[in-house]
């Protein structure tokens, strides 16, 4: 019922203010075609191929996990849900550790394009990875080792007899993943466009609310603001580490066929986000 009311609310907003929703969709399309697809498509294709070829090969599965770790949201979640078979960390902890922004996103878009200093992107990336790792260690220490492992999934085309070749199945699965990711980005970008126009909130509050929906829109909103680095950089770090509802929806679509819980993941990412922001604050004040 609540979800229906929210949908109706945004439906009437789009009817009353089509220029704002159109602006948000255009921003989402630009993000999808200029950043998301160019950066994620090769890695989604390769990890999907690793999955199809791995069978019982632990080496191939670990190679896929490493690729997912470096590839950015939500590919880390995809490879953990499909291929992680246990080890030092629990599956729940591994989901937090592997599902990160990509180093290219942090260095190029955040550091260079948004903030004008690639070193800021590198520092934030280090803080995010450290926050995720510390959160993963805490989860593994306090969670039961007997929790269910993620159920391995297979390419949808393999579940029934088919004349499709291996490459056809890999490309189909890759395309479906890209479409899901971009669909969530477009929806979040449209909603974020309305939040950015709310006049009753100061710009900083609107930026934080935007970050709760879509992290890239929040970075674009925060970067030009005249804020001290001690506030701006930890805030951006926390928003990117958290990911927002767009990343959560993308992650859920990747783990929906496993035993991993999106609710627990959201709680874990909130903890990791707080740790990452604190680390970035300490880097600025006591180390740099």
Instruction: Of 133, 117, 105, give the one whose Cα is nearest residue 284.
Output: 117
Question: What is the structure's pLDDT at 151?
Answer: 46
pLDDT tens, position by position, 233-283:
999 999 999 999 999 999 999 999 888 999 999 999 999 999 999 999 999
pLDDT tens, position by position, 133-182:
999 999 988 875 444 444 444 444 444 445 567 788 888 888 888 888 88
pLDDT tens, position by position, 56-96:
566 766 777 787 788 889 888 988 888 777 777 889 999 99
Question: What is the structure's pLDDT at 67?
Answer: 76
pLDDT tens, position by position, 6-41:
778 778 888 888 888 888 889 889 888 887 888 778
Question: What is the structure's pLDDT at 160?
Answer: 45
Q: pTM value?
A: 0.82
Instruction: Of 230, 250, 262, give the one whose Cα is nearest residue 28.
Output: 250
127 falls in which pLDDT band (50, 70, 90)? Answer: very high
pLDDT at 197 over 90: no
Average pLDDT for residues 46-51, to the nearest whole number? 75
Sign of CA dihedral 173, 174, 179, 180: positive
Question: What is the structure's pLDDT at 57?
Answer: 63
């Amino acid at each position: 019922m609540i979800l229906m009311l929210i949908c109706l609310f945004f439906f009437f907003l789009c009817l009353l203010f089509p220029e704002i929703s159109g602006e948000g969709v255009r921003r989402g399309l630009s993000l999808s075609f200029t950043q998301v697809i160019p950066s994620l498509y090769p890695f989604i294709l390769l990890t999907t191929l690793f999955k199809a070829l791995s069978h019982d090969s632990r080496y191939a599965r670990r190679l896929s996990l490493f690729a997912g770790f470096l590839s950015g949201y939500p590919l880390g979640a995809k490879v953990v849900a499909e291929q992680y078979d246990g080890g030092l960390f629990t599956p729940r902890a591994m989901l937090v550790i592997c599902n990160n922004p990509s180093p290219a996103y942090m260095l190029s878009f955040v550091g260079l394009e948004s903030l004008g200093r690639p070193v800021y992107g590198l520092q934030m990336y280090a803080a995010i990875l450290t926050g995720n790792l510390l959160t993963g260690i805490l989860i593994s220490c306090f969670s039961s080792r007997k929790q269910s492992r993620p159920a391995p999934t297979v390419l949808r085309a393999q579940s029934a007899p088919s004349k499709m070749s291996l490459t056809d199945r890999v490309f189909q699965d890759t395309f479906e993943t890209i479409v899901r990711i971009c669909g969530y980005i477009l929806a979040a970008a449209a909603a974020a466009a309305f939040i950015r126009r709310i006049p009753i909130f100061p710009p900083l509050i609107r930026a934080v609310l935007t970050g709760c929906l879509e992290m890239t829109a929040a970075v674009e909103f925060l970067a030009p603001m005249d804020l001290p680095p001690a506030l701006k950089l930890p805030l951006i770090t926390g928003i990117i580490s958290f990911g927002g509802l767009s990343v959560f929806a993308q992650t859920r679509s990747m783990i929906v066929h496993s035993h991993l819980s999106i609710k627990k993941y959201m709680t874990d990412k909130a903890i990791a986000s707080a740790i990452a922001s604190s680390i970035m604050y300490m880097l600025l004040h006591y180390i740099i």
